[in-house]
Amino acid sequence: MNLSIVIPLKDEAESLPELCDWIARVTDAQQFSYEIILVDDGSTDDSWNVIQQLRAGNQNIKGIKFQRNYGKSAALNEGFKAAKGDVVITMDADLQDSPDEIPGLYNMIVSDGYDMVSGWKKVRYDNTLTKNIPSKLFNAATRKMSGIYLHDFNCGLKSYNKKVVKSIEVYGEMHRYIPVLAKWAGFRKIGEKVVEHRKRKYGVTKFGLDRFVNGFLDLATIMFVGKFGKRPMHFFGLWGTFCFLLGLFISFYLVISKLINFDYAITNRPSFYIALTVMIIGSQLFLAGFIGELISRNSPERNNYLIEDKEGLG
């Protein structure tokens, strides 16, 4: 199969028929063999019925229905697990992403050899300050922390080599950071394509401003887990040792200066309390590292590495 199109959706019943028709028009024109995986993320409207009807008319349409609302990341994760196509494209269900971009995104993976391509909504129809300024800040922070130079991390329209989606796990609010997850999984050729941004035709947006708070915490998790997830002691141990030694050094200094001039009590000096605090913080960090290490040693995932290729082995 050439192409899997994964679409997370919550309460988008009105958009689905139009969206699927449009996708089918585009993929038929290109003569792709394809599947459309609609992941119903706990919709309370008629979406699942609509999906069943659409499937009756086009067997390329497939559906997954969550028992309740788990969020866009969870929906994408399930869609990725089910996808069978060589190229996987994600898009939003609300018709803000144009299916006409599909052939272009597909070719960048297949012909230009990108691991993943992210859409960039360069011209937004909703140029409001409340949506634009937080999203500019968010993109700048993500660029800085991840070292991936994309303009628009959060665009729902993206395409992937199948290998990428099978190597990553998306949860929490991490759908905003899939390029970062891909980079940590070892996929470095990440591209960008300017895509059209359209007006939401039906329904309302499902995300408010709280997205940015949770988003930043998730970025911190990704950066930390990616770097130290399998070796927590290297982080906590380093800083723990540093703090402890600093405290020890200050204590020595206090003891020596006490031996030289007998005339004051060590506890009268502010540096005594600093020494005490950093030594306690240091041992705490060290302990956190040990516990982290014990947990990661017991994790069933501890020896899961992503293997790209094998010769002579099954």
The footprint of ligand UDP (CB under 6 A) covers 8-10, 12, 41, 69, 71-72, 75, 92-94, 96, 156, 205-207
Residue 108 interface partner, choices Mg ion, ligand UDP, none, CB cut-off 5-8 Å depending on type = none
User: By C-beta, is 63 or 156 nearer to Mg ion?
Assistant: 156
Pair type for strands 61-65 and 87-90? unpaired
User: By C-beta, is 2 or 135 nearer to ligand UDP?
Assistant: 135
Residue carrying the six token digits 């706990």: 42
Provide, rounded to whole angstroms, the least separation between the CB of residue 52 and Mg ion. 24
User: By C-beta, is 143 or 200 nearer to ligand UDP?
Assistant: 200
User: By C-beta, is 38 or 243 nearer to Mg ion?
Assistant: 38
Residue carrying the six token digits 């199969």: 1
Provide, rounded to whole angstroms, the least separation between the CB of residue 298 and Mg ion. 41
Provide, rounded to whole angstroms, the least separation between the CB of residue 115 and Mg ion. 25
User: By C-beta, is 69 or 107 nearer to ligand UDP?
Assistant: 69
Residue 72 interface partner, choices ligand UDP, Mg ion, none, CB cut-off 5-8 Å depending on type = ligand UDP
Q: What are phi and psi of 97, to 5 degrees?
A: -100, 135
Residue type, 58: N
Provide, rounded to whole angstroms, the least separation between the CB of residue 28 and ligand UDP. 23
d(CA 154, CA 139): 8
Which spans of this chain sit near Mg ion (rule: CB under 5 A)? 92, 94, 96
In eight-state DSSP terms, residue 173 is T
Residue 41 interface partner, choices ligand UDP, Mg ion, none, CB cut-off 5-8 Å depending on type = ligand UDP
d(CA 20, CA 9): 13
Residue 206 interface partner, choices Mg ion, ligand UDP, none, CB cut-off 5-8 Å depending on type = ligand UDP
d(CA 201, CA 137): 27
Residue 63 interface partner, choices ligand UDP, Mg ion, none, CB cut-off 5-8 Å depending on type = none
Kindly state the tokens that stand for 226.
Answer: 């990616």
Beta bridge partners of 246: none
Provide, rounded to whole angstroms, the least separation between the CB of residue 10 and ligand UDP. 4
Residue 222 interface partner, choices Mg ion, ligand UDP, none, CB cut-off 5-8 Å depending on type = none
d(CA 74, CA 80): 10
Consecutive H or E run containing 78 = helix 72-82
User: By C-beta, is 79 or 232 nearer to ligand UDP?
Assistant: 79
Cβ burial of 84 (10 Å; 0-12, 13-18, 19+) is middle
User: By C-beta, is 75 or 108 nearer to ligand UDP?
Assistant: 75
The answer to whether 239 and 161 are in contact (CB under 8 A) is: no
Kindly state the tokens that stand for 16.
Answer: 């689905």
Provide, rounded to whole angstroms, the least separation between the CB of residue 293 and ligand UDP. 35
Residue 71 interface partner, choices ligand UDP, Mg ion, none, CB cut-off 5-8 Å depending on type = ligand UDP
Distances (CA, A) of 154 to 85, 117, 244: 23, 12, 41
Provide, rounded to whole angstroms, the least separation between the CB of residue 195 and Mg ion. 13
